[in-house]
């Protein structure tokens, strides 16, 4: 028969173990808000609304999506950077936030110090497309046309300082060419002019071009990834004629710096699993993107290096987002 003092000691030890285990589990907020720094209906918004119910089920809490568009995505990003540091406010965004922070004259927050990367949901290439009214049918044709008549080949983007703008300038440097930038208030406006032959080429997501490619008004000639992609059979890389050129579109989640590290790690595990779900895979596939599993520690230097590279390019090209 166990003696009373041993019984007391055993229960005391057990309670200590339970308390220690509980202390190691990060607290889950009663409500998590995923901020999307773009308007309702944007691809990132659609992705966030697919993510929210899955995250809610995994964490056993409520998750909502809030759109805070404006300022080239910096308004929403700033709200999260200055938000509560308990994991209750997250940012789901794209490289647009990085390029905006690298080009805007006054940034309301410090991208590298006020936000901590949580997870990378997916990543894929941009598509290089031209008007079918041009004679350009390959990356080599594009480079040859731009070299033959510098500054006469026109390219459209969704605006000054956007990923498409900086990426096309990086392409010009890699290929040693000069093209004429025509900024629009959104990629949708640019692709309409591309289809009409008003401009010659654009870099954008596959989803931006898809209806016009299907209608035969826009011709894809390359992708911007380092290697050919099975999602785009027959399309070469732009690097085949512009050595070293590579750009990817991604969707990533950030939290305010100071969010408890154990909860950031928990979120990372959950988002990595959500990214592999059938629903998220199908959404990513529309742009030829694939799930990517990275730890916050692996993702952080990638974001920093990307920001530094875009900021250097913007300074060299005198690109300033007002």
19, pLDDT greater than 50: no
pLDDT at 3: 53
Q: Are residues 253 and 182 in the same domain?
A: no
State the residue range of the domain holding 52. Answer: 29-124+249-317
**Structural domain contains residue 164:** yes
Which has the closest alpha carbon to 299: 261, 253, 242? 253
Q: Are residues 180 and 219 in the same domain?
A: yes
Q: Are residues 118 and 263 in the same domain?
A: yes
5, pLDDT greater than 80: no
- Show Cβ contacts of residue 221 under 8 Å, excluding neighbours closer than 6 positions: 128, 129, 130, 136, 137, 138, 139, 141, 142, 235
Between CA 211 and CA 289 the distance in angstroms is 18
pLDDT at 280: 93
**Structural domain contains residue 258:** yes
Q: Are residues 190 and 267 in the same domain?
A: no
- Binning pLDDT at 50, 70 and 90, where does residue 99 land? very high
CATH code of the domain covering residue 80: 3.40.190.150
Between CA 226 and CA 240 the distance in angstroms is 9
Domain end marker among 240, 274, 306: 240
| Coil/strand/helix, residue 118 | strand
pLDDT at 54: 97
> What mean pLDDT comes out for the span 74-100?
96
CATH code of the domain covering residue 197: 3.40.190.10
Domain end marker among 189, 213, 240: 240
b/e code 234-258 from CB counts within 10 Å (16+ = b): ebbbbbebbeebbbbbbbbbbbbee
**Structural domain contains residue 72:** yes
Residue 155's Cβ-side half-sphere holds a number of Cα atoms within 13 Å equal to 27
Long-range interactions of 141-148: CB distance < 8 A, separation 24+: 141/221, 142/201, 142/221, 142/222, 142/241, 143/175, 143/177, 143/241, 143/242, 145/200, 146/172, 146/175, 146/177, 146/178, 146/179, 147/176, 147/177
Q: Are residues 203 and 257 in the same domain?
A: no
Q: Are residues 34 and 89 in the same domain?
A: yes
Q: Are 92 and 246 in contact (CB under 8 A)?
A: no
pLDDT at 24: 60
Q: Are residues 151 and 300 in the same domain?
A: no
241-271 pLDDT tens trace = 999 999 999 999 999 999 999 999 999 999 9
Between CA 156 and CA 212 the distance in angstroms is 15
273-320 pLDDT tens trace = 999 999 999 989 888 899 988 999 999 999 999 999 999 999 999 999
> What mean pLDDT comes out for the span 130-135?
96
Between CA 265 and CA 275 the distance in angstroms is 15
Q: Are residues 61 and 80 in the same domain?
A: yes
138-193 pLDDT tens trace = 999 999 999 999 999 999 998 899 999 999 999 999 999 999 999 998 888 999 99
Q: What is the CA radius of gyration of the chain?
A: 23
| Coil/strand/helix, residue 64 | strand
How many domains does the chain divide into? 2
**Structural domain contains residue 12:** no
Structure tokens that stand for 229 in this block:
């992609």
**Structural domain contains residue 8:** no
> What mean pLDDT comes out for the span 211-223?
95
Q: Are residues 131 and 234 in the same domain?
A: yes
Q: Are residues 62 and 211 in the same domain?
A: no
Q: Is the dihedral of CA 281, 285, 291, 296 positive or negative?
A: negative
Q: How far is CA 277 from CA 54, 125, 314, in A?
A: 9, 20, 37
Answering whether pTM is above 0.85, one says yes
**Structural domain contains residue 180:** yes
- Binning pLDDT at 50, 70 and 90, where does residue 42 land? confident
Q: Are residues 153 and 104 in the same domain?
A: no
Domain end marker among 183, 218, 240: 240
Mean pLDDT of the residues in the chain: 91
**Structural domain contains residue 64:** yes
Q: Are residues 235 and 253 in the same domain?
A: no
């Amino acid at each position: 028969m166990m003696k009373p003092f041993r019984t007391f000691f055993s229960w005391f030890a057990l309670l200590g173990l339970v308390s220690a285990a509980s202390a190691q589990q990060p607290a889950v907020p009663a409500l998590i808000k995923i901020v999307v720094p773009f308007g309702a209906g944007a691809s990132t918004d659609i992705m966030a609304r697919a993510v929210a119910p899955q995250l809610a089920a995994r964490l056993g809490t409520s998750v909502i999506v809030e759109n805070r568009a404006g300022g080239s995505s910096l308004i929403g990003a700033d709200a999260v950077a200055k938000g509560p540091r308990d994991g209750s406010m997250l940012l789901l965004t794209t490289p647009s936030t990085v390029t905006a922070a690298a080009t805007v004259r006054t940034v309301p927050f410090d991208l590298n110090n006020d936000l901590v990367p949580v997870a990378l949901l997916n990543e894929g290439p941009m598509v290089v497309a031209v008007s079918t009214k041009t004679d350009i049918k390959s990356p080599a044709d594009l480079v040859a046309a731009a070299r033959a008549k510098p500054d006469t080949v026109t390219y459209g983007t969704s605006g000054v300082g956007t990923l498409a703008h900086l990426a096309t300038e990086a392409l010009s440097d890699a290929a040693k060419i000069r093209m004429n930038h025509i900024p629009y208030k959104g990629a949708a406006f640019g692709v309409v002019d591309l289809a009409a032959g008003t401009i010659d080429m654009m870099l954008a997501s596959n989803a931006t071009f898809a209806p016009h490619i299907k209608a035969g008004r826009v011709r894809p000639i390359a992708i911007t990834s380092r290697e050919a992609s099975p999602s785009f059979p027959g399309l070469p890389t732009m690097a085949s004629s512009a050595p070293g050129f590579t750009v990817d579109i991604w969707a990533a989640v950030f939290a305010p710096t100071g969010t408890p590290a154990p909860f950031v790690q928990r979120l990372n595990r959950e988002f990595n699993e959500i990214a592999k779900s059938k629903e998220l895979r199908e959404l990513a596939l529309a742009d030829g993107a694939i799930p990517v599993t990275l730890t916050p520690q692996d993702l952080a230097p990638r974001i920093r290096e990307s920001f530094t590279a875009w900021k250097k390019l913007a300074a060299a090209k005198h690109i300033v987002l007002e």
